[in-house]
């Protein structure tokens, strides 16, 4: 059982996935900081100091905090757009794999086939000549 687990854990796909999760978590922190510390304060300045997190309906403990939902929606769009830009950038710099097409020439026909083809062509030419007279 240990050998099976070891072979599973050491497969390339599992290691790639683990690295992607760690990098994704770090990237998520960066984008969250971008949204919380830079973009949302700018939106607050533009909108007259409104903080989306503070928006709610109701009073006390029975409040519906729709501002937190709006903040999550804004975060989602900014994070998804950031990931789109990163993927687009990496695809741009990724080396384009060239497709090599090998041209394989057909082997030369056997001498008998060449001779028979010439005889056929001569007979056709002769037949056309006779029908023309």
Task: Tell me the three state secondary structure of residue 64.
Answer: strand
In the chain, the N- to C-terminal Cα span, in Å, equals 90
pLDDT of residue 112: 92
> For the chain, which residues score pLDDT lower than 70?
12, 95-99, 129, 132-133
Helix axis angle for 66-93 and 12-33, nearest 10°, is 130
Q: Which of 65, 66, 84 lies closest to 76, judged by CA?
A: 84
pLDDT for residue 62: 82
Please answer whether residues 14 and 20 qualify as being in contact, where contact means their C-beta atoms are separated by less than 8 angstroms: no
Q: Are 64 and 57 in contact (CB under 8 A)?
A: yes
Name the DSSP class of 36.
Answer: I
Predicted confidence at residue 133, as pLDDT, reads 55
The pLDDT of residue 99:
62
Token pair 């097409």 in the structure block, residue: 101
Q: Which residue has tokens 């409040």?
A: 63
Pure H helices in 34-65: 40-46
């Amino acid at each position: 059982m240990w050998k099976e687990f070891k072979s599973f854990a050491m497969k390339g796909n599992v290691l790639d996935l683990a690295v992607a999760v760690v990098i994704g978590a770090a990237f998520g922190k960066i984008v969250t900081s971008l949204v919380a510390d830079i973009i949302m304060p700018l939106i607050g300045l533009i909108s007259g100091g409104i903080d989306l997190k503070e928006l709610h309906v109701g009073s006390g403990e029975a409040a519906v905090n729709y501002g937190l939902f709006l903040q999550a929606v804004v975060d989602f769009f900014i994070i998804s757009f950031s990931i789109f830009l990163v993927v687009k950038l990496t695809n741009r710099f990724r080396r384009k794999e060239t497709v090599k097409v090998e041209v394989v020439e057909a082997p030369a026909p056997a001498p008998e086939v060449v001779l028979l083809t010439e005889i056929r062509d001569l007979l056709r030419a002769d037949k056309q000549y006779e029908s023309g007279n």
